[in-house]
Amino acid sequence: MAFSITTWNINSVRLRIGLVQRFLKRAAPDVLCLQETKCPNDSFPVRAFKESGYPHIEIHGQKGYHGVAVISRHPLSDIDRRQFCGRDDTRHIGVSVRHGRRPIRVHNFYVPAGGDEPDPEKNWKFAHKLDFLDEMKAWLGEGATPSTLLVGDLNIAPLETDVWSHRQLLKVVSHTPVETQRFEEVRAAGGWADVMRTIVPPQDKLFTWWSYRSPNWETSDRGRRLDHVWASPDLAKKATAMEVLKEARGWEKPSDHVPVTVTFK
C-alpha cells in the first residue's frame, strides 16, 4: 500500500487556501504538512480541507506568525505540540497517521529563518535559530524510531547543490557553514535519511524556494532547497518517488516555497 506525504511552507493558509485546494486536487497526497500558516487555531480553514477530502486535521497556530498543521485522509492520533527554546511560538507538531498495519509517526517542523545577519552576537534571530537546532538535536538524537518521518521548512540549504551559487551564498543565512554543520549534526544524531537526496543525486541541483525579491525567478533560477523530508532507515528504503512542484511558484499570488511530495511503497 503506497503512502504519500507533502510538505509545503504556504506563507498564510487563509490567503492561499485556493492554491492548496488546487494542489490537493492534482496531487492527492495521503498527508499534507503545512508550515507558516500564520493562523490561530480557531480561524483555520477546516471546512475547505474537509470538502477536499481531508477530514483529519491537527493545528498548532498563532496569529500572524509561524504555525504548522497536518491535514490527512487518515485518522491522526498521539498529537504532540512541542515548544522550543522556551518560546511560545508554534513551530512543531507531531502526529501518528493510521495507515496500513503500523502507524507512521510524522514530525512537522518550521525552523526559524534566522534574520539577515549570520552573527549570533549581533542578531538574536540567528542565535535563536542555532539554539533551536541544538535543541532539535538533543531531542531527536536518540535515533529515529521505526516508521518515522520528519518534514518541513528547515530553513537551511545544506549542500553546495542546494543553492544556486555555493560561493556567493556562503555568508548568507541559510547556507553558512555554522548552519549547515548544525543541520548535519541534527540529521546524523538521529540517523535520519535525507530522502530527497536518496532520489535526486547530491551532485544535481535541487531547489524548493525562490525569493519574492527576484522578479525573473524562473529565468534566473536562483533557488535554494529549504524544505526537507527525512525518514527513519526502514522508511527511507521504501521511498519510490518525489515531486518538487516548481510550477506552483508561478501560480497567482504564490508562496515563495513549493510543495514537495514523497511517495513510499
Report all structural domains of the chain as residue ranges with CATH numbers, in order of start.
Answer: 3-264 (3.60.10.10)
pLDDT at position 102 = 84
Q: Give the whole-number percent of the chain exceeding pLDDT 90.
A: 94
pLDDT at position 138 = 94
3-state secondary structure at position 168: helix
**Mean pLDDT rounded to a whole number for the chain:** 96
Q: What mean pLDDT is predicted for residues 77-97?
A: 96
Which H or E run contains 231? Answer: strand 227-231
Q: Give the whole-number percent of the chain exceeding pLDDT 70.
A: 100
Question: How many CA atoms lie within 13 Å of 135's alpha carbon, on the beta-carbon side?
Answer: 17
pLDDT at position 112 = 98
- Confidence band, pLDDT 50/70/90 cuts, at residue 107: very high
State pTM to two decimals. 0.97
For helices 124-140 and 177-190, give the axis angle rounded to 10 degrees: 20
pLDDT at position 174 = 98
CB-based contact 132:152 (threshold 8 Å):
no
**How many CB atoms sit inside 10 A of residue 49's CB?**
22
pLDDT at residue 97 is higher than 80 = yes
Q: What is the pLDDT of residues 113-133, one digit of tens each?
A: 999 999 999 999 999 999 999
pLDDT at position 1 = 82
pLDDT at residue 99 is higher than 90 = no
- Confidence band, pLDDT 50/70/90 cuts, at residue 152: very high
**Distance, CA of 257 to CA of 96 (rounded, Å):** 25
**Distance, CA of 19 to CA of 25 (rounded, Å):** 10
- Confidence band, pLDDT 50/70/90 cuts, at residue 101: confident
- Confidence band, pLDDT 50/70/90 cuts, at residue 87: very high
pLDDT at residue 204 is higher than 80 = yes
3-state secondary structure at position 217: helix
